[in-house]
Structure 1
Amino acid sequence: MSSFVNVLVAVAVVALIVSRQVRPQPLADAKRWWVVPAVLVYLGIREKGLVDPDHHLASVVLLGTEIATGLLMGAAWGWTSRLWSEPDGSVWTRGTRATAAVWGLGIAVRIGLTGIGALAGIRMGTGALLLGLAASLLVRSGILAWRARSLPASYGVAADGRVRPLWKDRV
């Protein structure tokens, strides 16, 4: 695919993710929270042009900064999302206004990194974008799965599905 199409696809994916964050969603299966980020990492590493051979050191620094931005964005995304359990024991999540601000800041930083790279003549492939997005999703999913374990039980069923005895009155 051309770079323009890749950018359009990336913008569409981000728009889909952000639009889903403003609505309550059941938390994904806690056992497979790492699968989508793993696929994105595979696709990102497989992408040609991950590191510019003419500007090796500078492109590695930009790639590292992109991944670090993704890690920070994912952590902020995971901590700013609201998390709750329903009476049936299911865990739900929803982004907050702070989550939207995190996304806006993250996108601005990524645009800035792309601009810096372009001004320096560094050609970064879409693999860097995929790796940054994978880092965001991995950290966000991990934090939400960790936070879900500490949710209070609903009617004796914990958020992780384990049955816990209810407190009983003693006479």
Structure 2
Amino acid sequence: MPGFANALLIIAAAGLLAIRQTKPQLITAARRWWPLPVVLAYCGLRGSGRGSHLIDVHHRYESIALLSVELLVGVAMVAAAWACTSHIRTEPDGSVRSRETKATAVMRGAGIASRLGLVGMALLIGIHQGTGALLLALAASLLVGAGSLELRGGALRPAPVLTAAVR
């Protein structure tokens, strides 16, 4: 996938997430929270062979270190903060809902700013990574954040009521 298409994919995913998370979201056991991160990771890894390199071949070790730091920042600042600062509540009907708070938005902004800082630092050093690295970091943060939120919400779900069968 060309860099421009990856950039459009990143903007579309960020817009979708921003719209979906400004209102309370139902957390159910059947909720599918993993497809978007899987698609983003696939696009990031697939595009790495066509000019959108994950690793700069001229700065191999520095590029691997940068990608690792970017993944750690994405997981720690964005994903973990998202799951820890989101408000989760149980409704009277037993359903569990989550909603982002202002602290969540601040942490997301800090995570994005730190990633942009890492990319800027890499460019100053001379490391050239494609958008595949950004897609992979975004996928990792979404996967860990949504999974953590699902685990937190699952702890609040009421236990299923088991009834004995009458013969």
State whether TM-score is above 0.5. yes
Name the CA shift for 1:31/1:94 in 2 (closer, same or farther; >3 Å).
closer
Q: Is the counterpart of residue 36 in structure 1 residue 36 in structure 2?
A: yes
Unaligned 5+ residue runs, structure 1? 166-171
What is the aligned partner in structure 2 of residue 57 from structure 1? Answer: 61
Aligned-partner residue type, residue 81 of structure 2:
A
Q: CA deviation at 1:2?
A: 4.3
Query: How far apart in 2 are the matches of 1:33 and 1:164?
Result: 27
Q: How big is each residue's C-alpha offset from its partner over 1:64-115, in whole Å with a ceiling of 9 and x where there is no partner?
A: 1111111112011111111112223222111000000011101101110110
Taking the TM superposition and a 5 Å limit, the aligned residue runs for 1:122-161 are 122-151=127-156, 158=158
139-148 or 99-108: which moved more?
A: 139-148
Query: How far apart in 2 are the matches of 1:28 and 1:10?
Result: 26
SS at match of 1:127: helix
Give TM-score, length-normalised by structure 2: 0.82
Q: Cα RMSD between the aligned structures?
A: 2.2
Q: Is the counterpart of residue 109 in structure 1 residue 114 in structure 2?
A: yes
40-49 or 123-132: which moved more?
A: 40-49
In the TM superposition, structure 1's runs of 4+ consecutive aligned residues that sit over 6 Å from their partners are none
How many residues align structurally? 158
Identity percentage of aligned residues = 47
Name the CA shift for 1:21/1:108 in 2 (closer, same or farther; >3 Å).
same
Unaligned 5+ residue runs, structure 2? none
Give TM-score, length-normalised by structure 1: 0.81
Higher relative contact order (CA 8 A, sep 6+): 2
Query: How far apart in 2 are the matches of 1:79 and 1:30?
Result: 22
Query: How far apart in 2 are the matches of 1:31 and 1:22?
Result: 18
Q: Are 1:30 and 1:145, in contact at CA under 8 Å, matched by a contact in 2?
A: no
Q: Are 1:71 and 1:139, in contact at CA under 8 Å, matched by a contact in 2?
A: yes
Aligned-partner residue type, residue 22 of structure 2:
V
Name the CA shift for 1:102/1:30 in 2 (closer, same or farther; >3 Å).
farther
Query: How far apart in 2 are the matches of 1:85 and 1:34?
Result: 22
Q: How big is each residue's C-alpha offset from its partner over 1:131-158, in whole Å with a ceiling of 9 and x where there is no partner?
A: 111111111112111111221x6xxxx1
Q: Are 1:18 and 1:100, in contact at CA under 8 Å, matched by a contact in 2?
A: no
Q: Are 2:44 and 2:131, in contact at CA under 8 Å, matched by a contact in 1?
A: yes
Taking the TM superposition and a 5 Å limit, the aligned residue runs for 1:77-96 are 77-96=82-101
Q: Are 1:44 and 1:130, in contact at CA under 8 Å, matched by a contact in 2?
A: yes
